[in-house]
């Protein structure tokens, strides 16, 4: 089945890419979740327009991503969560929490799917992770989880 990706799908491609996938994967997973649409001649024209717009934005995005990377790597991202007396959190720090805190630092929207955490953050302490800001630009971040008062 030939499809057009509308979102980035890991190990498959970027938005606007035309890829060939098995029928079931496209019909039952990618298309219902909005990650892709069926390929048609009219849709191919839209892809060409999207690719042209993407080429124009790439240079602006790379400069912006470099500035964001410097801001994120400058210091730890501090996240306050409620915790017990032993330092265990009531819940966990999620990628959405990290994305929200990183968005406040950079001033730009960061999606939770761009955040990659090593392990689960279920207690107070320091952790490491990364945020994919652009194709080749990843920010190595330090996350400091503190008990909220």
Same domain, 20 and 52: yes
Same domain, 16 and 55: yes
Output the pLDDT for position 54: 74
Output the pLDDT for position 60: 76
pLDDT averaged per 10 residues, the chain (length 149): 90 88 94 91 82 76 86 91 91 92 90 89 92 88 90
Owning domain of residue 18: 2-61
Same domain, 83 and 143: yes
Output the pLDDT for position 56: 77
Which domain-ending residue is among 11, 34, 61? 61
User: From residue 15, how far is each of 9, 12, 54, 128, 137 by CA, in Å?
Assistant: 8, 10, 10, 28, 18
Same domain, 81 and 34: no
CATH no. for residue 127?
Answer: 3.10.430.100
pTM exceeds cut of 0.85: no
């Amino acid at each position: 089945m030939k499809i057009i990706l509308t979102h980035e799908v890991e190990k498959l491609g970027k938005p606007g890419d035309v890829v060939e996938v098995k029928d079931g994967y496209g019909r039952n997973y990618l298309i219902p979740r909005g990650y892709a649409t069926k390929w048609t001649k009219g849709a191919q024209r839209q892809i060409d327009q999207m690719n042209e717009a993407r080429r124009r934005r790439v240079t602006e995005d790379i400069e912006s991503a470099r500035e964001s990377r410097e801001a994120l790597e400058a210091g730890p991202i501090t996240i306050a969560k409620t915790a017990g007396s032993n330092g265990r959190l009531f819940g966990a720090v999620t990628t959405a929490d990290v994305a929200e805190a990183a968005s406040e630092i950079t001033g730009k929207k960061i999606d939770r799917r761009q955040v990659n955490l090593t392990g689960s953050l279920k207690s107070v302490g320091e952790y490491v992770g990364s945020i994919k800001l652009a194709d080749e630009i990843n920010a190595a971040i330090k996350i400091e989880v503190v008990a909220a008062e």
